[in-house]
Structure 1
Amino acid sequence: MKATRKRLTPEESRSSALDAARALLIETGPQSVTLKAVASRIGRTHANLLHHFGSASGLQKALAEHIARSVCETIIEAVRASRAGLGSPREVVDLAFDAFDREGAGALTSWMLLTGNEDALDPIISTIHDLVDEIAPEEASHGIEPGRIHGDTLTLVLMALGDALIGGALAKSLGLQRDAARERATAMLEASLADYQQD
């Protein structure tokens, strides 16, 4: 008897494809995130994924948004926990750095830039902006200047991205520990947290 394939809702199919694309990104790099590879991994057809994403670049853009949303939701929870004394600035830093390194956002970012698909970065930038907009009013209510959280976020994201791309080699060549950039980012967030708690 021939086995029948489970019928998925459009949302389930799209979510399954994005999970598979993220796994491929982490396992073998951004160049492997193709409609054909993702379709093969989830047992769907190329046409099925074309219907959901329009093109390989549409899939990559959706993947960037998927990663960014997941990472930012985790980071905002960690920021709030840190402010409530339930977590540490280092945990926030580790989440951001791991997102760009272990979760593949750094590799995906560089791949998008190299292939000229820069608009695929828009979801990452937009999601980070939304994260900052959600945190910023809390900062202002404690007397922290409005641009401070934006500046800290810019610095943290750039440090995390740079560390994912060349952090290991650069730290080694400078005779520094591998987590030197994380230590610097942690010090920056600790200073911001100290300002927040002084109010």
Structure 2
Amino acid sequence: MASRKRLSPEASRLAALEAARALLIESGPQSITLKAVGARIGRTHANLLHHFGSAAGLQKALAGHLAANVCDAIAEAVLASRAGQGSPRQVVDLTFDAFDKEGAGALASWMILTGNEDALTPIVETIHELVDEIAPEEADSHEEIMRVHEETLALVLMAMGDALIGAALARSLGLPESAARDRAERMLLSSVPGLSQPE
């Protein structure tokens, strides 16, 4: 009988979060159970209980993990855009993909519907930290900072809504499926200082 590879607590936790992320993308948020994640990585239910406390704890940790990865990518895209090496569209696409292809929209909806709303805290806090980190240096007045916060709120809400109903609604209205992304890009170009279209 082959022995299981011993992982550090951090590596074991990360392996569980990556397995949960894969399950989320493949089968939806209802598939993220301690049993399913344990089976995927060859760990016991007790081992996962030790790391996360419950399935709700696993979902909350997954929300934080997704938010951190996505926000890191968005921060890089924003800074690249300011340096003339990227575009606002990349920022929009990363944000929308996080809620759609990466499953954050489905996970957030599932947590709200199952009464696990506090599991959204890591997503909200991470996005807030991202906005504070990438707020343009010239946004030093309260009004400018609030405007950046408002644009972030609009972008995240658009991405979340698009992930849940965007394609069907766009088709119903006779619009291309990219309509919400196109609108979000125009919003960023017109209102966020420092973002520019690449030459």
- TM beyond 0.5: yes
Match of 1:74 in 2: 73
Higher mean Cα deviation, 146-155 or 159-168?
A: 146-155
Match of 2:156 in 1: 157
Match of 2:6 in 1: 7
Match of 1:93 in 2: 92
SS for the counterpart of 1:81 is: helix
Deviant stretches of 4+, over 3 Å: 141-144, 195-198
Match of 1:188 in 2: 187
Match of 1:37 in 2: 36
SS for the counterpart of 2:194 is: helix
User: CA contact under 8 A between 1:144 and 1:196: conserved in structure 2?
Assistant: no
Distance 2:31 2:41 in 1: 14
Distance 2:175 2:163 in 1: 16
TM-score for the superposition, normalised by structure 1 = 0.94
Paired positions, count: 196
Q: Deviations along 1:121-142, whole A, 9 cap, x unmatched?
A: 0000000000011122524159
Q: Deviations along 1:45-67, whole A, 9 cap, x unmatched?
A: 01100000000000000000000
Q: How does 1:29-178 map to 2 (within 5 A)?
A: 29-136=28-135, 138-140=137-139, 145-178=144-177
SS for the counterpart of 2:137 is: helix
How far the C-alpha of 1:148 sits from its partner, in A, is 1.5
SS for the counterpart of 2:12 is: helix
Distance 2:120 2:113 in 1: 12
Q: Deviations along 1:82-107, whole A, 9 cap, x unmatched?
A: 11110010010000000000000000
Consecutive unaligned residues of structure 2, counting only runs of 5 or more, are none
User: CA contact under 8 A between 1:139 and 1:196: conserved in structure 2?
Assistant: no
Distance 1:59 1:91 in 2: 30
Distance 1:137 1:94 in 2: 20
Q: CA RMSD in A?
A: 1.8
Higher mean Cα deviation, 138-147 or 89-98?
A: 138-147
Distance 2:195 2:68 in 1: 28
Query: For residue 196 of structure 1, what is the amino acid of its counterpart?
Result: G
User: CA contact under 8 A between 2:78 and 2:195: conserved in structure 1?
Assistant: no
Distance 2:40 2:159 in 1: 30
Higher relative contact order (CA 8 A, sep 6+): 2
- Distance change >3 Å, CA 58–CA 139, structure 1 → 2: farther
Distance 1:103 1:184 in 2: 21
Consecutive unaligned residues of structure 1, counting only runs of 5 or more, are none
